[in-house]
Structure 1
Amino acid sequence: MTDAANPLLTPSALPYALPDYAAIRPEHYLPAFRAAFDEHRAEIAAITRVRSMPTFGNTMVPLEQAGAMLERVAHAFYTVSSADATTEIQEIDEQLAPLMAAHEDAIRLDAQLYWRVKTLHDQLDALGLDAESRYLVERHFREMTHAGAGLDDDAKARLTALNQKISTLTTTFEKNLLADTNDLAVHFETADELDGLAAGELSAAARAATDRGHDSGFLITLPLFTGHPYLASLTNRESRRRIMEASRSRAARGTANDNRTVLTEIAALRAERAALLGYDSHAAYVTADETAGSPDAVADLLKRLAPAAASNARAEQAALQAIIDETEAERFAIEAHDWAFYTEKVRAAQYDIDTAALRPWFEAERVLQHGVFFAATQLYGVTFAERSDLVAYHPGARVFEVFNPGGSALGLYVLDLYTRDAKRGGAWMNPIVSQSALRGTAPVVVNNLNVAQPGDGEPTLLTLDEVTTLFHEFGHALHGLFATVNYPHFAGTNVFRDFVEFPSQVNEMWILWAEVLDNYARHFETGEPLDAAIVERLRATETFNQGHDTSEYLAAAWLDQAWHRLGASDTVTDVAAFEAEALAEIGLDNPAVPTRYSSTYFAHVFSGGYSAGYYSYIWSEVLDADTVEWFRENGGLTRENGDRFRARLLGVGGSKDPLEAYRDFRGRDAEIAPLLKRRGLG
């Protein structure tokens, strides 16, 4: 293949430099990566060959300009490898993992480059830099030091080997999980077995069965987390049990896709790497460069919340058991697969709300246009126009152009709503192009969800949880679109991991905000708004079932910390026993309330970017709940409030210490009381 034949080797001519996915084929990726690695190394060599003493202009500026091709290729590929991971793409990902790890180490461990950055850092006060430029020097020095740039050559060689092995294993973990999740999709022969599902849900299950090659029946695919949205509706207890059993057995069945050996090796290698870098554990290494500062700070928060959450969950469990005892002809002790079903019965009895019956008011396109986009327009003045002329990486992904108030161009937003076998589980946002004034690039961001797609011509009706997910992920997208920085190092959501969830959680507040809800919650057939009395009851249920929900989340966060507080000399031979001991330690070992993710399918921490950082959701929620109070105190959904939040928080990207940015917005540090109230813990 000639360079001219590879569309990844030159900047895209499409609007906003959107990759030309119509022209990109799988065989283009590896050659493009190799060329980009070579170019990036040459750019770094050009910096380190300079004989004159380091200056900001001859070191930091070219460092930020370097790697543009690699970033372009990587963003294009990793968008596809997570959202449309065909067998061919997975094979490329496996080959690429150690190559990418080696290349990243070659840059961040470069001794000459580190000397130049350190020299600038040592004389920082004398450089006379603006705030963003000064912070750039500080962060590069901190990150290179943290990565091991100050180690001797032998230690660096071992570190590089560890990083490559870890990268390969995390790719294997994700591949195994995707394969086993697909294998464990539960096939039902008759609609009677799925009694309780709505027509659209049955249609989606029938379509999934047909797509998977079944002649008849219904296929229930599995989400990333332990439970399943359908467990709240299915009347057949055996059907609920089959779905939950399949979910909890993922990648732990002794098959070729078993992740137990993979994850224990990942944990051990991370512990060894942390020791090499001078830390007691991987958790200590990770949190040292987060706002938390230490695993002890994380443990303090989790331990503060866990007892009340567990107590509330036990009270909820007793109420559910009472419903079973009163209504079922044959009594039984409630199990995990029963919880959601009987929770809906309690919700209906206490609040007269059937959340499954609300789906006709949450038609996906209306939620998007009249809810998600509407709230952003009201708050920030931005507008959206679909660009059907622009082709994304998959036919199901839609492209929207985003405009600032006044009509100036801002960027592109891509939405990929539906589940498919080649898409990893969960929901996420990632950049395809990052904004940078230095490079002259504007943002292109994508949101991925995993909503079941109904049959042709039928409406997509969302659950309230799916509505929440869409608003949440769009909060990440706004962060990626609004960040306006000079240096690509600070672009978009490039902030501390335990801060990154804050803007997305804040965006969830608009779901039940009166003027937003009234605008999008309309019956898909009649156009009737959601009854005001139901809305009030929905708001009254905000702390309902929070014992369960908080417990399952805290259990996963604690489990993540347990794996990553292991020292280099610690070994784990029995994954299930390790989990049980960890959950018992914090009092979250209730069998009826399993952890949101068990280890073998905990993709956030064993194949994603949240290792020792899953606590960040609740850590960020302290800021989120405090911010919601601020909006309520200051008039809510107004342009003045939106402009302040955009300018002082979303707009700074990673170019400022996040807690300093929060204080600039809020006028003080966050307080925990609003979180405790929201979660029913105080």
Structure 2
Amino acid sequence: MNSQLSPDNPFASPSELPYGLPPFDRIADEHYAPAFEAGLAEHAAEVEAIAANPEPPTFDNTIVALEKSGRLLSRVASVFFNLTSSDTNPVLQDLQAEVAPKLAAHSDAIHLDPRLYGRVRELYERRESLGLDAESSWLLERVHTDFQRAGAGLPEGDQERLRELNAELSTLSTRFQENLLRDTNDLAVVVDDERELAGLSADAVAAAREAANSRGLTGKFLLTLNLPTSQPLLASLENRAVRERLFRASVSRGKRGNDNDNSEVLTRIAALRAERAALLGHPHHAAYVISDETAGTAEAAIGLLERLAPAAVANAKRDAEELQRYLEQDVPGATLEPWDWAFYGERVRKARYDVDDATLRPYFELDRVVRDGVFFAANKLYGLSFTERHDLPAYHPDVRVFEVFDADGAPLGLFLGDYYTRDSKRGGAWMNTFVDQSGLLGERPVVVNNLNIARPPQGEPTLLTFDEVVTAFHEFGHALHALLSDVRYPTFSGTNVPRDFVEYPSQVNEMWMLWPEVLANYAKHHETGEPLPQRLVERLQEAAQYGQGYSTTEYLAAALLDQAWHTISPDDDVRDVAGFEAAALEKAGVALPVVPPRYQSTYFAHIFSGGYSAGYYSYIWSEVLDADTVEWFRENGGLTRANGDHFRKELLSKGGSTDSMAAFRTFRGRDPEITPLLKRRGLTGV
């Protein structure tokens, strides 16, 4: 127990709940600030003891000691930052703004301590004589690299400026996130007349009514916004004016000149990142970031994006011509607009393949998707089983807690599912951990998946769109990476891998959504229990590539926009966000007005408040590995324990404890090939 913290504070000692699950039923807002204060002080004292140790540096008294330090700080930070994303409030937001620069300064104090760096450097220089095992040797290399990348070798004056930059960047990133959440809530579209919602399913209308009721808008309907530019309801809304309102609300986020405007915030972030990269010896932020990823250089990452862009745009333009014809049948003389694409795309898909979201949603009930789809596939591949634990506390009534068991019945960890949208949750979908697996610390994983599914009225089923089912499988792929981690050092646990590798296992997990055995197990009508008709299954398989022109182009536009912001130099003075964005898209050859970027700059949370700055290319980079791995599974019999065990042993269990591409080569038996990706994306002419 920490002596500086009241014993009544639930963070004062490790949780006694199974797997170290935080005692959410005891944690209140007032517990965080003193726990952070005590955690920072305790960690600083532990690091000081390591740095000031009069004994010569050894792997144990320096590197392992660092791995063991900061447990109190880790406990409070893991809970706090999970909740500021999934269930925040003004108290937590104020504290986040206060604590973010303190944490940045704390990290700098560690990495810029010349005594500590001296010990790490000495060990690194004689690493060949230390007799370390492979994982320990890799840890030493990573710690040394982290110190160098943090500026440990810079002159004192440059280090002081670096501290200032990191503190301001942490504050700005927090502000970007909070502005976006407020503006997203503020821009939700209010509809007065149910007739304007024609085309939506009955449960979608009910969810809109429920959302309005939750804000006191009795008798009205509220269309809340998802994080990307294109909103799911655009595919169903028949009223073109309502579609336009919804789209314009989406692209207005963070750029309305109000208190939530992110324009100055993001230009300042980009400028400070450019200055920091220059201090650290790189031409721009992208070069700094990607030098430590599997891509190696910004040129390699940008090169892949630019290679794919022309064919993707050509496909999108071809599809747009077809959609234009459909639009003119309804509105003669009208021009296809961004808010029309999803609606007429669904109409084409229905006409061509006789399948659309309205037909599919009754077969995609949330609990069945999770238990009989996501969990079922994990059982077939890895032997995992899941038991819901109603006796364990969660941080919100919506959250479900499952205990996960290995194939031999041994307890493995906990999985938390937080599936519904709410005003206190940021947009998008993500996985995170409350406890990281580590042999050194004797800890097993506690993992959470967050989605943003509209809540139906009480007692009614939660029916998912096709894309929401994909997301459920995708995010659980991240969860598996954490749950199946089998590493010694917490630094390497689960998804602690290069950013352009982390999406790979989660993308692979998407393949099981339409795998016949899995689909047959979960895709059953929520009222009758009848399985998804075979003709629809066949149509789904045939339609898998439809719409790739749009989805690839909107993604590439966002990824190239990310690179544009992060290849500016410290001398560039960018103030006109819209102008910069337009010029960047035009230069990259992806300026297609009817296909806007998946995220525009002012609500591009991945790169301005998440961990994907200069790294949004990671999704397509990882997809090269993913598509190649899907081919491997198909070639070797698909959904089998033998295949799952091989993937688990050589990839998922490794976390970051080895070179990621070496792990891929061990799994696949060769380097990745791009052809499967090109086939999947309809880009075989590239």
SS at match of 1:3: coil
CA offsets 1:331-390 (integer angstroms, 9 cap, x no match): 301000000000011111111112222100000000000000000000000100000011
Give the alignment of 1:208-219 within 5 angstroms. Answer: 208-219=211-222
One-letter amino acid matched to 2:598: R
In the alignment, which of 64, 72, 93 is matched to residue 69 of structure 1?
A: 72
Structure 2: give runs of 5+ residues left out of the alignment.
Answer: none
In the alignment, which of 457, 460, 464 is matched to residue 459 of structure 2?
A: 457
CA distance in 2, matches of 1:355, 1:607: 32
CA distance in 2, matches of 1:157, 1:2: 31
Q: CA deviation at 1:330?
A: 2.9
Q: Specify the alignment match of 2:372 in structure 1.
A: 370
One-letter amino acid matched to 1:422: S
Structure 1: give runs of 5+ residues left out of the alignment.
Answer: none
> How many corresponding residue pairs?
681
Q: Specify the alignment match of 2:477 in structure 1.
A: 475
Give the alignment of 1:411-490 within 5 angstroms. Answer: 411-490=413-492
CA distance in 2, matches of 1:324, 1:180: 31
Q: Specify the alignment match of 2:356 in structure 1.
A: 354
Q: CA deviation at 1:227?
A: 1.0
Give the alignment of 1:447-596 within 5 angstroms. Answer: 447-596=449-598
In the alignment, which of 239, 252, 262 is matched to residue 236 of structure 1?
A: 239
Q: Which moved more, 1:346-355 or 1:158-167?
A: 346-355
CA distance in 2, matches of 1:97, 1:203: 39
One-letter amino acid matched to 2:656: G
Q: Specify the alignment match of 1:646 in structure 2.
A: 648
Asked if residue 305 in structure 1 is aligned to residue 308 in structure 2, the reply is yes
Please, what TM-score do these two structures have when normalized by structure 1? Answer: 0.99
Q: Which moved more, 1:261-270 or 1:101-110?
A: 101-110
CA distance in 2, matches of 1:2, 1:520: 48
One-letter amino acid matched to 1:216: G
CA distance in 2, matches of 1:529, 1:2: 56
One-letter amino acid matched to 1:607: S
Give the alignment of 1:91-170 within 5 angstroms. Answer: 91-170=94-173
In the alignment, which of 20, 23, 27 is matched to residue 20 of structure 1?
A: 23
CA offsets 1:10-39 (integer angstroms, 9 cap, x no match): 101111111111111111101101111111
CA distance in 2, matches of 1:75, 1:663: 33
Aligned pair in 2 of structure 1 residues 311, 160: CA closer, same or farther (>3 Å)? same
CA distance in 2, matches of 1:459, 1:574: 46
One-letter amino acid matched to 2:490: P
CA distance in 2, matches of 1:15, 1:301: 45
CA offsets 1:544-579 (integer angstroms, 9 cap, x no match): 110100000000000000000001111111100100
Q: Which moved more, 1:388-397 or 1:332-341?
A: 388-397
One-letter amino acid matched to 1:272: E
CA offsets 1:39-67 (integer angstroms, 9 cap, x no match): 11111111112222211121111111111
Q: Specify the alignment match of 1:602 in structure 2.
A: 604
In the alignment, which of 176, 200, 203 is matched to residue 200 of structure 1?
A: 203
Q: CA deviation at 1:277?
A: 0.6
SS at match of 1:511: helix
CA distance in 2, matches of 1:355, 1:201: 12
Q: Specify the alignment match of 1:330 in structure 2.
A: 332
SS at match of 2:447: strand
One-letter amino acid matched to 2:147: M
Q: CA deviation at 1:585?
A: 0.9
Please, what TM-score do these two structures have when normalized by structure 2? Answer: 0.98
CA distance in 2, matches of 1:329, 1:87: 46
CA distance in 2, matches of 1:215, 1:384: 40
Asked if residue 44 in structure 1 is aligned to residue 41 in structure 2, the reply is no
CA distance in 2, matches of 1:134, 1:369: 40
SS at match of 1:541: helix
SS at match of 1:4: coil
Q: CA deviation at 1:2?
A: 5.7
One-letter amino acid matched to 1:83: S
Aligned pair in 2 of structure 1 residues 495, 378: CA closer, same or farther (>3 Å)? same
Q: Specify the alignment match of 1:86 in structure 2.
A: 89
One-letter amino acid matched to 1:630: W
One-letter amino acid matched to 1:70: L
Q: CA deviation at 1:114?
A: 1.0
SS at match of 1:446: strand
SS at match of 1:45: helix
Asked if residue 667 in structure 1 is aligned to residue 684 in structure 2, the reply is no
Q: Which moved more, 1:130-139 or 1:535-544?
A: 535-544
Q: Specify the alignment match of 1:176 in structure 2.
A: 179
CA offsets 1:475-512 (integer angstroms, 9 cap, x no match): 00000111111111101110000000000000000010
CA offsets 1:213-265 (integer angstroms, 9 cap, x no match): 11221000000000111101110000000000000000100111000000000
Q: Is the 8 A contact 2:5 2:12 kept in 1?
A: no
CA offsets 1:523-555 (integer angstroms, 9 cap, x no match): 000111111111111111121110100000000
Q: Is the 8 A contact 2:5 2:38 kept in 1?
A: no
SS at match of 2:7: helix
Asked if residue 57 in structure 1 is aligned to residue 41 in structure 2, the reply is no
SS at match of 2:88: coil
Q: CA deviation at 1:280?
A: 0.6
One-letter amino acid matched to 2:253: R
List structure 1 segments (4+ residues) > 3 angstroms apart after TM superposition: none
CA offsets 1:616-654 (integer angstroms, 9 cap, x no match): 000000000000000000000000000010111000011
CA distance in 1, matches of 2:580, 2:141: 39
Q: Specify the alignment match of 2:191 in structure 1.
A: 188
Asked if residue 6 in structure 1 is aligned to residue 9 in structure 2, the reply is yes
In the alignment, which of 295, 298, 308 is matched to residue 298 of structure 2?
A: 295
Q: Is the 8 A contact 2:5 2:34 kept in 1?
A: no
Q: Is the 8 A contact 2:5 2:35 kept in 1?
A: no
Q: Is the 8 A contact 2:29 2:91 kept in 1?
A: yes
CA distance in 1, matches of 2:144, 2:25: 40
CA distance in 1, matches of 2:209, 2:575: 41
Q: CA deviation at 1:329?
A: 4.7
Q: Is the 8 A contact 2:403 2:413 kept in 1?
A: yes
Q: CA deviation at 1:586?
A: 1.4
Backbone CA RMSD of aligned residues: 0.9
One-letter amino acid matched to 1:679: R
Give the alignment of 1:264-275 within 5 angstroms. Answer: 264-275=267-278
Aligned pair in 2 of structure 1 residues 97, 300: CA closer, same or farther (>3 Å)? same
CA offsets 1:41-94 (integer angstroms, 9 cap, x no match): 111111112222211121111111111111111101111111001111111111
CA distance in 2, matches of 1:149, 1:107: 9
In the alignment, which of 614, 629, 632 is matched to residue 612 of structure 1?
A: 614
